[in-house]
Every structure is written in structure tokens, then in C-alpha cells.
Amino acid sequence: MKSHRLTLLLILLSLSTVTFAQSEAQKSNPPKSDAQKSFDTIKSLAGSWQGAVNMNPPMEGMGKADMDITLRVTSRGNALVHEMKEAGSPDDPAKYDHPVTMFYLDNDRLLLTHYCDAGNRPRMTARKSSDGKTVEFDFIDVSGNTERGHMQHAVFTIIDADHHIEDWTYLMPGDKPMHARMDLRRKTSTVAAN
């Protein structure tokens, strides 16, 4: 009888240990939220990119310009830095346009803050598409002077590992939208880099 009790006790202890281990594993690897999935999608763009920008309506001095885009994961993977400038322009942000955008998670939201050359900082929140290849950002608020306008909307569409499209909407004074569409190719192919 004692051996049956001992066996039963051992079985119960084993089951509770397995159950506890499974519970702990679920806590340490919870399912990813939509915000985390969108952040992972955006972080997959880390690298150097170049491509044409098309403005609508056309903007004087911005005909068929190429843009250089750099995306860099930072802060132990908790943020992504996005920098853009006209291709071939000197790397002198004091004299040339060189806006910086930061992507980061805020609880259950993926946010971006755009540090604009117009001197303001709009914030936007992400919406993920059902196909997982598009991340769209909607305006939340803006800090700083908006006299010269501010960024209002952004869409990132992943074509493949070496090709993506960025659509940015800038709200000009008088609430007139200006759209910039950048068709970007990775400067160094991910296939060649591996």
C-alpha cells in the first residue's frame, strides 16, 4: 500500500512540475501583439536604401530626386531610427534637410515620432494590414510650431527583403496635403550580405 501511495505522490509531483514548467514557458514567450508584429516588420527594414521620390503635387526643386534612407535598430532592439536625405547632398543636417523618425513600442501600440525639419514633432500610431506587409501610421498629435505644416500620415509597404515603398503625407499650411512616394531598393542586397 505504501508503494502505491509513494508512486501516486511521485506521479502527482511530476505532473505539477510539468504543468508549472509549461505555465512558466507561456509567461516567458507570450504570443506577439499586433504592435510587436508591426514593429518586427518595420525593423526588418534595417539597412541603407536608395530610390526615387515622386511628389504630388510636384514641388519645385524636387523633380526626380533620389533619396537616401538609413534605418538602424538601436536601444537594445527597443527603437528604430529612420533618417532621410536627398542622395548626394552633404551630410550636414544644419544646412540640408535631414529629418529623423523614431519607431518604438508604447505598451500595446507601435508609435513613431517624426523630428521634422519644419521644427515640430508629430506622433503617429500604427495599423497593420491583414497581409502583414504594410504598416500604416495615423496622426495622433504634434508638438512644436506647425506654421510651416507637419507630417500627417505614413505608410510602409514591404515588397520583398530588398525593396519597399514609403508613402509620406505632409499637411501644408491651409491643410493642403502633399504626398511623397519613395520607391526604395536596398543598397546592399541581403542575399549578398549573408
pLDDT in tens, 142-191: 999 999 999 999 999 999 999 999 999 999 999 999 999 999 999 975 55
Homologous superfamily (CATH) of 34-189 is Calycin beta-barrel core domain (2.40.128.20)
How much is the pLDDT for 193?
A: 44
CB proximity list for 51: less than 8 A, separation 6 or greater: 66, 67, 69, 182, 183, 184, 185
Contact 161, 188 (CB under 8 A): no
Contact 71, 46 (CB under 8 A): yes
Judged by DSSP in three states, 6 sits in helix
Does residue 48 register a pLDDT over 90? yes
Question: In which band, very low, low, confident or very high, does the pLDDT at 194 lie, cut at 50, 70 and 90?
Answer: very low
d(CA 81, CA 139): 19
Closest to 164 measured CA to CA, from 179, 191, 186, 193:
186
Judged by DSSP in three states, 8 sits in helix
Average pLDDT of the chain is 85
CA distances from 194 to 134, 171, 189, 191 (A): 25, 41, 9, 6
pLDDT in tens, 4-24: 565 555 455 555 554 454 555
Is 28 buried (19+), middle (13-18) or exposed (0-12) by CB count in 10 A?
exposed
How much is the pLDDT for 3?
A: 60
Angle at 182 between CA 90 and CA 177, to 5 degrees: 100
How much is the pLDDT for 12?
A: 52
Contact 64, 52 (CB under 8 A): yes
The count of other CB atoms within 10 Å of the CB of residue 5 is 9
How much is the pLDDT for 128?
A: 78
- Domain positions in the chain are 1-29, 34-189
d(CA 130, CA 41): 13
The pTM assigned to this predicted structure is 0.80
pLDDT in tens, 85-99: 888 887 776 666 789
The count of other CB atoms within 10 Å of the CB of residue 180 is 19
Does residue 64 register a pLDDT over 90? no
Question: In which band, very low, low, confident or very high, does the pLDDT at 131 lie, cut at 50, 70 and 90?
Answer: confident
